[in-house]
A and B are shown apart, each in its own frame.
Chain A
Amino acid sequence: MRSAHNILHLGIKELRSLVRDPIMLVLIVYAFTFSIYTAATAMPETLHKAPIAIVDEDRSALSNHIIDDFYPPYFLPPALITTAEMDARMDAGLDTFALHIPSGFQRDLLAGHSPVLQLNVDATRMSQGFTGSSYIQAIVSGEVNDFMRGYRAETAPAVDLVLRARFNPELDKSWFGGIMEIISAITMLSIVLTGAALIREREHGTVEHLLVMPVTPFEIMSSKVLAMALVVLAASWFSLTFIVRGLLAVPIEGSVALFFAGATLHLFATTSMGIFLATLARTMPQFGLLLLMFLLPLQVLSGGMTPRESMPDAVQFIMQAAPNTHFVMLSQAILYRGAGLDVVWPQFLSLAAIGAVLFTLALARFRKTLATMA
């Protein structure tokens, strides 16, 4: 009971020192509102306003039809260029695609000579280049087939493929971007707040004050973990309710309460990680570097940016130990696919286990650090 009382008061102390830093508060608000909104709305559809240039040496009815087929939002209106301009424009990064229609294309097609179109793709722009080229193939094929209809009989079997996307029928990227941005803001803020709060106490020497008070390292650490987790939870609740569901109008399929239960477990793990990193670093600059070294892989490799199953096996395996991986998995399942606890319990279990291990490790290191300071 005494312990809970101490934790409460130490926690209030943490919150107070946060409130006294107005710029920090502004940054937190920014992270959970503006930053999330920007990230969500900036994400384009996979193929959106793709810059394309067309070299039309045929100048036939068919080639004009093909040129007319490229229009926004998938493509920017095509730039009509000459062969000579093509390379320079691609080098400068002006076009992702350049389609070359050779002279006599329509004539050869009607004569059954199987003419060849050439499509140049800037393959350094992977996602756009790859999806775009299959779109272009489909568009050109469609146009050519329409044109040739009546000249040749259908030969392929009449099998239609009906493709439907579940959980996000329009494949609207802002749904995805909004939630993933909240997740990364949660992770970043929780690690920074707890870790930096501890380093600051060490640098200012106020840890000494705590040492001479009748409080245990467990209480000091729990108070930091709890106070900061509370701040982050409140901020993310606000963000999910007003920004993601309100402003961005992303439909949430599953239970928000279940998501926040998961978020709490995730915070338990990340705040402990913050303390752990802070015990490894001696100064704030060291902590800042350590932070980047953990934060960046956590965000990029957790499956929140690119699909996990496409990563190398070793990376997939190592990232099993990261709380983010499980949190991203459970968030996607709950928020987009409406999954219940019956589906996401393995992730909850993993998060709890990772959190417990991190907390224990951090507490051990924290005790040791305090002991060497005293």
Chain B
Amino acid sequence: MLILDEPTSGVDPVARDAFWRILIDLARRDNVTIFISTHFMNEAERCDRISLMHAGQVLVSDTPAAIIEKRGARNLEEAFISHLEEAVAKNPPAPPAAGAPRQPQEQAAPAAANLAPRRQGFSWRRLFSYTRRESLELRRDPIRLTLASLGSVMLMLVLGYGISMDVEDLAFAVLDQDQTTLSRDYALNLAGSRYFIEHSPIRNHAELDQRMRAGEISLSIEIPPGFARDIARGTPVQIGAWIDGAMPMRAETVRGYVQGMHQHWLTAKAREAYGSEATAGLFSIETRFRYNPEVTSLPAMVPAVIPLLLMLIPAILSALSVVREKELGSIVNLYVTPVTRLEFLLGKQIPYIALAMINFLLLTALAVSLFGVPLKGSFLALAAAALLYVIAATAFGLLMSAFVRSQVAALFGTALLTILPAVQFSGLIDPVSTLEGVGALIGQIYPTTHFVTIARGTFSKGLGFMDLRASFVPLLIAVPVLIGLGAALLRKQER
């Protein structure tokens, strides 16, 4: 439908004719309903139905031929003047004719279907029209589509291989003030493991300080003078170990390794000295690393990277969808049409949910094929959780989008409120139960936490719906809460 308000005023006759040909073409061939206001009677004649108006009142409404015939006039111009004169005669104190609005309204081609009475409440049709609009926009932006799917694949490769919790190849150096076979043996014990790489020996304390400050070595071992002699005599000896504490996580791991290797060396020495039966342990601890026997990063990280990516990308995409209309002005469609806020938001959300589910399938396929992380549990449970989760993620984006006023703020806000909680508070690295303070609280309610549990449960632990039902509940709660908040924050009228 087209509404044109005096489209031809001030246009020369040739252009006007060309313009009218286009209009007729639209009306007849493409079945477009056109409303036109004009004060040229020769234009009005080309329409199917016209209404003659005066001072805001419709005087008559009919086909042009019928109007002429009823008035018994020679042409439309005359019929119009006669109608006007009649109207002016009824209202004597009318303003001078010069300013009199002469606005025959016309209506072309297929008469407008009688407008359905405005229906309040929820309409799937209006909802899906927004879905269609949003999917069209997505489909016509192949770069965005490619970035969204290839982007997640690429990020998964980078993060899956890059985030490594294995601490190895750590640089260490020895300040050996003893320089005996035994002291060198101690250093070799460390250097021989895959965790440490020995750098050139340290000559004095000043050098030790300087090299640790530069971060070149993360561990330095100091063997005191008379080390071998004292051990032989049975005098207690102390070996000093300095760990770079700048990265606490790494330092903890180093501490564990060094202690372990120190014990190992002592046992080995004792065995050399007293024979093997002396060191047959008092007891032993058999440690079983479950779900991930090799204690490698991949099986632990890959299932957790999927939730991370399924939060970030859908949230960023949907976060821009509403605020973009606000910035570019097309939000006016929401303001002036009967569509409700919920229909508008849900309609916009659907294409992004679909896109995110495609990403989910891609990422899962990648995890199983390329990364070789088997999906031991129920795929159905994982997929159901993923669906709930991406609904929550896109709803979160829409909430952000309804709240902010500029795309910049939406982008920054979404990145801020998804990356930090998803990376740090959702159990990706540290289990949520160990977090403290506000972070712990965020971790417990953030959807990513629960999807990480489900993803690890299905991938590594071979679990299904029943085992994981406790983690579904928070997701089921998050979805309506986020959508409801988004609808509440979206304004149906500009302030």
Binding site for B on A (CB under 8 A): 21, 23-24, 27-28, 30-31, 35, 37-39, 41-51, 76, 90-93, 96, 105, 109, 114-131, 133-134, 136-138, 140, 144-145, 148, 152, 155-169, 171-173, 175-176, 181, 184, 188-189, 192-193, 196-197, 199-200, 203-204, 282-293, 295-297, 299-301, 305-307, 309-312, 315, 329, 332-333, 336-339, 343
Chain B contacts with A in 305-364, Cβ cutoff 8 A? 312-313, 316-317, 319-321, 324, 327-328
Q: Contact string, B427-468, partner A, CB cutoff 8 A, digits 1/0?
A: 101110111111110110000000001001100110100010
| Known contacts A158-B234, A161-B241, A311-B164, then 7 further A-B pairs from the complex at CB < 8 Å, ordered by chain A residue | A23-B406, A130-B165, A159-B231, A192-B411, A196-B407, A289-B151, A293-B154
The reply to whether the CB of B255 lies closer than 8 angstroms to some CB of chain A is yes
The reply to whether the CB of B133 lies closer than 8 angstroms to some CB of chain A is no
Q: 25 A-B contacts, Cβ less than 8 Å apart? A: A21-B406, A28-B412, A35-B416, A41-B438, A44-B435, A45-B252, A49-B433, A92-B467, A118-B286, A121-B290, A123-B289, A124-B303, A152-B282, A168-B245, A168-B251, A173-B248, A188-B412, A196-B408, A306-B165, A310-B166, A311-B164, A315-B162, A332-B215, A338-B213, A339-B214
In the bound complex, residues from chain B placing their C-beta under 8 Å from that of A125 are 300, 427, 431
CA distance A145 to B281 in the complex (A): 11
In the bound complex, residues from chain A placing their C-beta under 8 Å from that of B169 are 309-310
The reply to whether the CB of B9 lies closer than 8 angstroms to some CB of chain A is no
Main secondary structure of the interface of A (DSSP, over half): helix
Q: Contact string, B148-170, partner A, CB cutoff 8 A, digits 1/0?
A: 10010011001101111111111
How distant is A242 from chain B, measured CB to nearest CB, in Å? Answer: 18
CA distance A169 to B406 in the complex (A): 45
Chain B contacts with A in 366-388, Cβ cutoff 8 A? none
In the bound complex, residues from chain A placing their C-beta under 8 Å from that of B289 are 121, 123, 129, 133
In the bound complex, residues from chain A placing their C-beta under 8 Å from that of B404 are 23-24
Which B residue sits closest to A337, measured CB to CB? B213
How distant is B9 from chain A, measured CB to nearest CB, in Å? Answer: 28
CA distance A297 to B267 in the complex (A): 43
How distant is A96 from chain B, measured CB to nearest CB, in Å? Answer: 7
Q: A122-B290, A296-B155 are in contact. Are A287 and B411 (CB under 8 A)?
A: yes
Q: Contact string, B242-282, partner A, CB cutoff 8 A, digits 1/0?
A: 11111111111101101110100011011001100011111
Q: Contact string, B392-421, partner A, CB cutoff 8 A, digits 1/0?
A: 000000000001111111011111100110
CA distance A156 to B282 in the complex (A): 13
CA distance A123 to B288 in the complex (A): 9
In the bound complex, residues from chain B placing their C-beta under 8 Å from that of A148 are 282
**B434 and A49: CB pair below 8 A?**
yes
How distant is A24 from chain B, measured CB to nearest CB, in Å? Answer: 4
The reply to whether the CB of B124 lies closer than 8 angstroms to some CB of chain A is no
The reply to whether the CB of B14 lies closer than 8 angstroms to some CB of chain A is no
In the bound complex, residues from chain A placing their C-beta under 8 Å from that of B252 are 45-47, 131, 171
In the bound complex, residues from chain A placing their C-beta under 8 Å from that of B453 are 93
Q: A166-B212, A310-B164 are in contact. Are A137 and B313 (CB under 8 A)?
A: no
The reply to whether the CB of B143 lies closer than 8 angstroms to some CB of chain A is yes
**A138 and B162: CB pair below 8 A?**
no
In the bound complex, residues from chain A placing their C-beta under 8 Å from that of B435 are 42-44
**B270 and A119: CB pair below 8 A?**
no
How many residues of chain B are within 8 Å of chain A by beta carbon? Answer: 132
CA distance A337 to B162 in the complex (A): 26
Which A residue sits closest to B171, measured CB to CB? A309
How distant is B23 from chain A, measured CB to nearest CB, in Å? Answer: 29
How distant is A371 from chain B, measured CB to nearest CB, in Å? Answer: 21
Q: A123-B291, A127-B429, A288-B320 are in contact. Are A48 and B416 (CB under 8 A)?
A: no
**A203 and B236: CB pair below 8 A?**
no
CA distance A282 to B443 in the complex (A): 35
A-B contact count (CB 8 A): 401
**A289 and B425: CB pair below 8 A?**
no
In the bound complex, residues from chain B placing their C-beta under 8 Å from that of A312 are 161-162, 164
CA distance A200 to B467 in the complex (A): 48
Q: A44-B430, A119-B288 are in contact. Are A176 and B246 (CB under 8 A)?
A: yes
How distant is B431 from chain A, measured CB to nearest CB, in Å? Answer: 5
Which A residue sits closest to B317, measured CB to CB? A285
In the bound complex, residues from chain B placing their C-beta under 8 Å from that of A199 are 407
Q: A122-B291, A123-B295 are in contact. Are A297 and B159 (CB under 8 A)?
A: yes
How distant is A78 from chain B, measured CB to nearest CB, in Å? Answer: 14
**A138 and B259: CB pair below 8 A?**
yes
Q: A92-B470, A289-B313 are in contact. Are A197 and B144 (CB under 8 A)?
A: no
In the bound complex, residues from chain A placing their C-beta under 8 Å from that of B303 are 124
CA distance A160 to B438 in the complex (A): 41
Instruction: Name the one of A42, A50, A127, A339 contacting B213, with C-beta atoms under 8 angstroms.
Output: A339
Instruction: Name the one of B171, B270, B295 contacting A157, with C-beta atoms under 8 angstroms.
Output: B270
The reply to whether the CB of B200 lies closer than 8 angstroms to some CB of chain A is no
The reply to whether the CB of B297 lies closer than 8 angstroms to some CB of chain A is yes
In the bound complex, residues from chain A placing their C-beta under 8 Å from that of B412 are 24, 27-28, 31, 188-189, 192-193, 196
**A109 and B283: CB pair below 8 A?**
yes
CA distance A91 to B406 in the complex (A): 45
**A166 and B290: CB pair below 8 A?**
no
In the bound complex, residues from chain B placing their C-beta under 8 Å from that of A329 are 215
How distant is A45 from chain B, measured CB to nearest CB, in Å? Answer: 8
**A41 and B403: CB pair below 8 A?**
no
